[in-house]
A and B are shown apart, each in its own frame.
Chain A
Amino acid sequence: MSARLPSGGSIIDRETLVSFTFNGKTFKGYKGDTLASALLANGQTLVGRSFKYHRPRGIMASGVEEPNALVNMGQGSRFEPNQRATTTEVFDGLTATSQNHWPSLEFDIGAINNKVPGLLPAGFYYKTFMKPQWAWKHLFEPLIRKSAGLGNAPREADADRYEYFYVYVDVLIVGGGMAGLAAAHEAGASGAKVLLMEQTANLGGRLAVDEAVINGKPSADWIAQIIADLEAMKNVTIRTRMMGSGVFDHGYAMGYERITDHAPNDTAPRHRLWRIRAKRIVTATGALERPLSFAGNDIPGVMLASAVRDYASLFGVSAGERIVVVTNNDDAYRTAITMKNAGLEVPVILDARAQANGPLPTEARALGIRVEVGKAIASVKGYKSVTAVEICSQAGEGTPLETIPCDVVAMSGGWSPVVHLWSHCGGKLNWDEGNAMFSPDPTRPPLGADGTGFVLTAGTASGDLCTAPALQNALNAGRQAATEAGFSPVESAAPVVVASAEDPMMPVWSMPQNAPYKLRSKSWLDFQNDVKVSDVRLAAQEGYESVEHTKRYTTLGMATDQGKLSNINGLAILADALNAPIPNVGTTTFRPPYTPISLGSIAGEARGALFKPTRKSPIDAWQDANNAIWEPVADWRRPYTYRRNGETTAQAVTREIINTRTGVSILDASTLGKILVKGPDAAKFLDLVYTNMMSTLKIGKCRYGLMCTENGFLFDDGVVARLSEDEFLCHTTSGGSDHVYAWMEEWLQTEWWDFQVYTTNVTEQFAQIAIVGPNARKVLEKLGGMDVSSEALPFMGFSDGELAGIQARPFRISFSGELSFEIAIPAAQGQAFWDRVLEAGEAFGIMPYGTEALHVMRAEKGFIMIGDETDGTVIPQDLKLGWAVSKKKADFIGKRAMEREFLQREDRKQLVGLLTENPTDILPDGAHAVEGGKNRYGQENMIGHVTSTYFSPTLNHSIAMALIKGGNKRMGEVLTFPLGDKVIKATVVDPVFYDKAGERQNV
C-alpha cells in the first residue's frame, strides 16, 4: 500500500497540513503536495476508470503526462472536469471526485465492456454504428452521447476571471529545469530580455530528483545558486506555474499561467494567457519516460519508474511497499536505489537487456538488490491493484518462470525528448537509433518572419539525455538565442559535471518480444483511451498504413494524452506490423496546446458584459430609462419601440406609427453613418463610388445615392449633401459606416491615389435627431433660431444654424414619407437637444418612435432597406432603382458588371409589393412564392421570397415586399405562398403603398 514516508520530500512543507476531499472522503496532505502525491500518501491508489473498458486506473506518472488520474475538480460554479491530479496542487478545501464510472469508483457497471472479449476493438466506432439508419437517432446517438467523454460537463457559469497579457521579449525560455535555468543564465548575462516559464511550482526539474554534482556543487545548491543569480538580473523574469502551451508563427508563443488554481480567491484572475512575441524561443522542455508494453501494464500500481522516485524524493511518498522495477535502460536503477535507500523492498529489477554492468546496476547490486537480465514481465496479477508479477524471458513468448509478489511495478521503456513545442510550428525531427527516440533536428527549425529559425532546444529536449552533455547543450542554446536576438553573450567556462554514467538502452516495444495475442490484448499503449498493442496491430492488418489514419482509427494518442506516453510505443508497434523502419512511419502532428488549457483562458475577459462591445448613441441613457425595447442594429443597440404602461410591443409600434403620420414624433437616427469627403477631386471621386451622378449636386442640396461593388451588387445607400464646391457629407446605413469609410479609403489609397481627396468618418461627431410628422415644422419653429419654412429649407435641402440655442444642421430628408427634419447636433449636446425637442413638442403630442415603426413606415413608402431587400446578389435595377444608376458616366464601381448579360436578364428577381387576400394575414419574412410544377428534387418550383413584411396601421392592411422572378411583368398576378399548414395568396402591386406622389414629405 502506498503511504507517506517518515522523512524526505524536498518540496512539501510537513509543518503545514491541508485538508481536502476525494469522492466525499476527507484526506490530509501537506502544502506542496499534488493531489496525486496526497492521494498516494493516503493509500488511495485507485483514482479513475478508463474510457472504453472502465478498467480500474491508478496514478501512473508524476507530471503532465499522467493519462489516468483525471478528476472532477471543484463544485458548482468552480467545477471543472478532467483535471490531472499530478499537476493539481492541493489546498485547504479542495474537492475532487473520480470520473467515468457508475455507480461508484469501486463498483462500476461499465466494466462489463471489459468482460466481453473483442467488444470494442480498433475502429469500433466505424464498424458498429452503420445500420439500420433509424437506430442512429434512437439507439446509437444516445448511447454514444452517454459514453462520450470522461468527466462531466459543468452546469453553472464559471465564477472565475481570466485574462490575456501581451509581452515582447528577446529570449523566451520554456522550462525551468537545469537546462532552462542554464540557458536563461547565459542569455540573461548578455543583457537580453529573458522570460523563463516553468509549468510546475518548483524550479530544478529532474535535477532536483536525480542528483549530480555540478562545478563542485550538489545539484540542490547549484539550483539555488543559479536561481539567485537569475533573480539578480533585472532583465530576466522567472514565472512558475506557467506552461508554454504553444509555439506559433513569427516568434509567437502562448504561456498559460495558473494563478489561483492552488489558492482560489475572488480577486486575482484564475488563469492568464500570456501572448508572447519572442525573437528567439528556447524549449528546455526535458524528456518524458515511456511505459513498457506488457500484459496488465494498466493495473493500478504499475507506474513510470521516474514517477515512483519523484513521489519518494519530492513528496516523501512511497507508491507501495514492494517495488519491482522493469526496464530497458540504466536510469530506472535510480528508482530501485532510491526506494531501497528509503527502506522499502525491491524484490527484483527485471532488465530486458542481456547485460547490465554500468555504475548504476553495480550500485543496485551492492545494495543487495536482485538484478535479472534478459528478463521481462509476462503479466501483472491483480485487478484493482497489483498483487504480483509473473516474470519470463524477454526473448521468448512469455512462459512464466516465477511469480514475484509486489504492489508496485516501476517501468521504464526509455525516454523521449518533449518535442511538442519544437514541432508545433514546423520544427522537424530526426530518429535517434541509439536512444530509440525522435529528437529535434537543429538544421530544420521552425522559420520566422525573416526566414531564419526562431526556436532552439536546450538540454534533454535536444536529445542529450545525460546531465553533462545536456547542460553544455543548454548553455550553448542560451548563448545562441541571445546572439541571434542581437546580443553578444560571453562564453562561460565549460561546466564540470559529476553524474553516474549510463550504458546504452535497448529498444523494447513488446514485452516479451514475441508476446502472443493473449498478452498483446492486455498490453496497453494508450491508457486513457484504452488502445492496446492488439488494436494497433489490427489497424495495420486492416490496411491502415499512415500513422495519422491509425491514430484516428484506434484513438491512439487522442484527447489529453496527445501522444505523450503512447506515441513512440504505438508507432513502433505499427512500424513492426507494417515491417517498416520507425522513422518511415513517422509521428502524428504535434498540435498546441501542449496540455489542455481552460476555455476561460481562451475567452479571456470577453464574457458577460465584456463579451462584445455594444455601440451606444448619445441618447442611449434616456432611452434606457424610458422603456426602450432594445434591438441590435449592426454593433449598435437601438430602441425597437418604446412600450408604455400595459402595451404590447405591437400596440406600441402601432401607436408610434399613427402618431407620426398624424402628428409629430422624434427618432434617434444618430447611428446613421456620416463621412466627410473633401478635396478638388471629391466630386469626381463620388461619381465613381456612387452609381448616380454626384458632381451635379448643387451646394446646399441632398441627393439619394447608391453604392455597388465591382460585381454590380448594391451594398449601401444614403443621402449625400454637398457642403461646398469641394466638400460632401455622405450618409450611410447604420451598419455600413465603418465599411463604407474603409471602402472609400481603399479606393483612394490603392486605385485612385492620384486623386486629391481626404475623407473622415464623422459618424460619432453628431447626434442625428429626426423630427417627423405633419406637425414637425411647428416643433422646429417653437425651438426657434432658424428659418425652417419650405422656402428657406425646401425638401432635399439643408442649412446650418442654431435651434434652441444649439448648433444644428437640419436636413429635409424623409425615410417615412412625412414632413421630416433630420437634425445633426454635436454629439455631446445630443441629449440636451433631445430634451428641448420633447419640451417644445409636448403641445403637439410628440413621442419617440423606434426602429420597427421606422421600418413599417419606410415599407409603406416602398423604400428599400439594405440587408432586407438586398442580399449581396441584388442590383439597383432589380429594386426599381435604375433611375439612380447613371447612364451618362463613363465609369463607376459596378458599371462594367451591369453590362454583363446575366445582370440584364428580364427574368431576374425584381422588387414587387404584395397585398394579401386577407388583409390581416401577414406573410412570414422569407416566405417563398411557388409557381406550379416541381423541380428535380420533387420540391415545388420557387419563384421568389418575401423580403419585408408588416401590418400597416396606416392602411389597415398587411403589406409586404418581395423579390419575384420577372416581377416587373407580374403586376396584378396572384402569388401562392405555401406555409406548411396553410397557404397565403397575395396580389402583386406597386411597392409604394402610401402617398405614391410623395406629397406629404414635400411640404
Chain B
Amino acid sequence: MSNAVSILNGASSNGAVKITEAGLRGMITLRGDLSSAQLITAVSAAVGLGIPAQRKVNHGPMGGVAWMSPDELLLLVDYDKAAAITADISGALTGEHHMAVNVSDARAVFAIKGVGGREVLAKGAPVDLSPEAFGIGDIRRTRIGQLAAAFWMTDDETFELVCFRSVGAFMFDWLTNAAREGSLPEYL
C-alpha cells in the first residue's frame, strides 16, 4: 500500500531523549470474552502469543498483544497484514460474540528512546514511572498532558507510545518539548 502515509512520515527529534514517529503499525482492536478458547486460539494464530494478564503486553516475532480492558485486546501486527488478520480473526470467531476492528489508521505511534524516557513521560502522565513500578511487559493507558495515550517498553531504554492519529502532530511536539536537552529532572 504505497499510498499509505503515517502522520509525520517518520519524523524524529533529538533532545535529551530521541523521539521518533514510528511509522505505520498494524493494530487490531479485539473485543470479546478473553477466556474463550476460540478467542485464545484466534489470537495465537494471529500473533503467536497468549492472552496477556491484566495491564500486560506480550511481544513475539509475529507481533504483540496488549491487555486494554477486561473485554478488549490490542493486537500489534504488520501494517500490511492488519486487514487480512482482522478478517481471519472474525472468521475464526464466527458464532461467538466479538468485535475485531482494524484500527491501524486511527493511531500514531512514537518511539521514545534514551535513559530519560521515563522522565519525559512523567512530565505528562500522572503515573508512577519508576523502574520498580513500571517495566518491560507492562502497558499503561493514561493521559499525557491533555491527550489520551497508551505506552509500553520494548527494551530498558525505549518506550512505544500510541495515541490518536488526529493529535499525532501535537503529541510529537509535546514529547519533543518534554525531551529537550537540559530539561530532565534526573530523578527517576
Contact flags (1/0) for A764-801 with B, using CB distance below 8 Å?
A: 11100000000000000000000000000000000000
Q: Is the CB of B119 within 8 A of A165?
A: yes
Give A826 to B127 CA distance when docked, in angstroms: 33
CB distance from B162 to the nearest CB of A (A): 12
Give A770 to B66 CA distance when docked, in angstroms: 35
CB distance from A283 to the nearest CB of B (A): 21
Specify which of B119, B125, B130, B180 is in contact with A267 (CB 8 Å cutoff). Answer: B180
Is residue A616 within 8 Å, beta carbon to beta carbon, of the partner chain? yes
Specify which of A193, A237, A679, A760 is in contact with B97 (CB 8 Å cutoff). Answer: A679
Q: Is the CB of A678 within 8 A of B127?
A: no
Chain A residues with CB below 8 A from B3, complex form: 806, 828-829, 832-833
Which of A168, A265, A832 has the most chain B CB within a 10 Å cutoff?
Answer: A168
Residue of A nearest to B121 (CB): A166
Give A826 to B4 CA distance when docked, in angstroms: 8
With contacts A267-B182, A760-B99 known, is A610 near B4, CB below 8 A? no
Q: Is the CB of A605 within 8 A of B147?
A: no
With contacts A605-B174, A615-B166 known, is A267 near B103, CB below 8 A? no
Give A604 to B178 CA distance when docked, in angstroms: 11
Is residue B185 within 8 Å, beta carbon to beta carbon, of the partner chain? yes
Q: Is the CB of B106 within 8 A of A678?
A: no
Q: Is the CB of B31 within 8 A of A760?
A: yes
Q: Name B72-108 residues within 8 Å CB distance of A.
A: 83, 97-99, 101-107
Is residue A617 within 8 Å, beta carbon to beta carbon, of the partner chain? yes
Is residue B29 within 8 Å, beta carbon to beta carbon, of the partner chain? yes
Give A989 to B107 CA distance when docked, in angstroms: 47
CB distance from A169 to the nearest CB of B (A): 9
Chain A residues with CB below 8 A from B1, complex form: 828-829
Chain A residues with CB below 8 A from B122, complex form: 165-167
Q: Is the CB of B182 within 8 A of A268?
A: yes
Is residue B24 within 8 Å, beta carbon to beta carbon, of the partner chain? yes
With contacts A605-B145, A616-B169, A679-B99 known, is A166 near B126, CB below 8 A? yes
Is residue A676 within 8 Å, beta carbon to beta carbon, of the partner chain? yes
Specify which of A268, A604, A764 is in contact with B105 (CB 8 Å cutoff). Answer: A764
Q: Is the CB of B133 within 8 A of A168?
A: yes
Residue of B nearest to A727 (CB): B99
Question: Interface residues of B toward A: which range?
Answer: 35 or more
Q: Is the CB of B128 within 8 A of A168?
A: yes
Give A267 to B24 CA distance when docked, in angstroms: 33
With contacts A267-B181, A828-B105 known, is A237 near B166, CB below 8 A? no
Q: Name B121-163 residues within 8 Å CB distance of A.
A: 122-130, 132-133, 145-147
Chain A residues with CB below 8 A from B20, complex form: none
Q: Is the CB of A762 within 8 A of B165?
A: no
Is residue B167 within 8 Å, beta carbon to beta carbon, of the partner chain? yes
Q: Is the CB of A828 within 8 A of B185?
A: no
Q: Is the CB of B165 within 8 A of A163?
A: no
CB distance from B177 to the nearest CB of A (A): 6
Which of A167, A617, A766 has the most chain B CB within a 10 Å cutoff?
Answer: A167
Is residue A936 within 8 Å, beta carbon to beta carbon, of the partner chain? no
CB distance from A184 to the nearest CB of B (A): 15
Is residue B183 within 8 Å, beta carbon to beta carbon, of the partner chain? yes
Is residue A164 within 8 Å, beta carbon to beta carbon, of the partner chain? yes
Is residue B6 within 8 Å, beta carbon to beta carbon, of the partner chain? yes
Contact flags (1/0) for A163-198 with B, using CB distance below 8 Å?
A: 111111000000000000000000000000100000
Q: Is the CB of A827 within 8 A of B31?
A: no
Q: Is the CB of A826 within 8 A of B166?
A: no
CB distance from A808 to the nearest CB of B (A): 12
Q: Is the CB of A827 within 8 A of B187?
A: no
Chain B residues with CB below 8 A from A609, complex form: 173
CB distance from B11 to the nearest CB of A (A): 12
Q: Is the CB of B6 within 8 A of A828?
A: yes
Specify which of A161, A275, A610 is in contact with B126 (CB 8 Å cutoff). Answer: A275
Which of A275, A605, A612, A758 has the most chain B CB within a 10 Å cutoff?
Answer: A758
The B interface, classified by DSSP as helix, strand, loop or mixed, is loop
Give A664 to B166 CA distance when docked, in angstroms: 27
Is residue B5 within 8 Å, beta carbon to beta carbon, of the partner chain? yes
The A interface, classified by DSSP as helix, strand, loop or mixed, is mixed
CB distance from A760 to the nearest CB of B (A): 5
Chain B residues with CB below 8 A from A277, complex form: 128
Residue of A nearest to B126 (CB): A166
Give A765 to B173 CA distance when docked, in angstroms: 22
Is residue A895 within 8 Å, beta carbon to beta carbon, of the partner chain? no
Is residue A763 within 8 Å, beta carbon to beta carbon, of the partner chain? yes
Specify which of A165, A615, A806 is in contact with B167 (CB 8 Å cutoff). Answer: A615
Q: Is the CB of A605 within 8 A of B177?
A: yes
Is residue A440 within 8 Å, beta carbon to beta carbon, of the partner chain? no
Q: Is the CB of A828 within 8 A of B98?
A: no
Q: Is the CB of B97 within 8 A of A680?
A: yes
Residue of A nearest to B105 (CB): A827
Q: Is the CB of B178 within 8 A of A163?
A: yes
Specify which of B4, B164, B178, B180 is in contact with A764 (CB 8 Å cutoff). Answer: B164
Is residue A831 within 8 Å, beta carbon to beta carbon, of the partner chain? yes
Give A239 to B188 CA distance when docked, in angstroms: 13
Give A161 to B164 CA distance when docked, in angstroms: 26
Chain A residues with CB below 8 A from B133, complex form: 168
CB distance from A195 to the nearest CB of B (A): 8
Residue of B nearest to A832 (CB): B3
Q: Is the CB of A760 within 8 A of B123?
A: no
Q: Name A673-690 residues within 8 Å CB distance of B.
A: 676, 678-680
Q: Is the CB of B106 within 8 A of A762?
A: yes
Give A33 to B104 CA distance when docked, in angstroms: 58
Give A676 to B101 CA distance when docked, in angstroms: 9
Specify which of A161, A676, A766 is in contact with B99 (CB 8 Å cutoff). Answer: A676
Q: Is the CB of B123 within 8 A of A610?
A: no
Chain A residues with CB below 8 A from B104, complex form: 765, 826, 828
Give A257 to B177 CA distance when docked, in angstroms: 18
CB distance from A268 to the nearest CB of B (A): 5
CB distance from A699 to the nearest CB of B (A): 16
With contacts A267-B182, A272-B185, A764-B166 known, is A613 near B101, CB below 8 A? no
Chain B residues with CB below 8 A from A512, complex form: none
Chain B residues with CB below 8 A from A161, complex form: 177, 180, 183
CB distance from A33 to the nearest CB of B (A): 25
Q: Is the CB of B102 within 8 A of A165?
A: no
Is residue A589 within 8 Å, beta carbon to beta carbon, of the partner chain? no
Chain B residues with CB below 8 A from A592, complex form: none
Give A616 to B108 CA distance when docked, in angstroms: 12
Chain B residues with CB below 8 A from A766, complex form: 105
Residue of B nearest to A265 (CB): B182
Q: Is the CB of B4 within 8 A of A756?
A: no
Q: Is the CB of B169 within 8 A of A612?
A: no
Q: Is the CB of B123 within 8 A of A605?
A: yes
CB distance from A487 to the nearest CB of B (A): 14
Residue of B nearest to A621 (CB): B169
Contact flags (1/0) for A598-624 with B, using CB distance below 8 Å?
A: 000000111001101111111000000
Give A168 to B134 CA distance when docked, in angstroms: 12
Chain B residues with CB below 8 A from A994, complex form: none
Chain B residues with CB below 8 A from A239, complex form: 187
Q: Is the CB of A267 within 8 A of B183?
A: yes
Is residue A269 within 8 Å, beta carbon to beta carbon, of the partner chain? yes
Give A80 to B30 CA distance when docked, in angstroms: 53
Chain B residues with CB below 8 A from A806, complex form: 3
Q: Is the CB of B174 within 8 A of A827?
A: no
Contact flags (1/0) for A253-279 with B, using CB distance below 8 Å?
A: 000010000000101110010010100
Known: A267-B182, A758-B97, A826-B4. 20 other contacts (CB 8 A): A163-B123, A164-B123, A165-B187, A167-B122, A168-B128, A193-B132, A265-B182, A267-B183, A610-B170, A678-B99, A680-B97, A758-B99, A760-B101, A764-B106, A765-B103, A765-B104, A827-B105, A829-B1, A832-B5, A833-B3
16 contacts between A and B (CB under 8 A): A163-B178, A165-B122, A165-B123, A167-B188, A193-B130, A239-B187, A605-B145, A605-B178, A609-B173, A613-B147, A615-B164, A766-B105, A807-B83, A828-B5, A828-B104, A829-B4
Nearest 4 pairs of A and B residues by beta carbon:
A832-B3, A267-B182, A168-B128, A615-B166
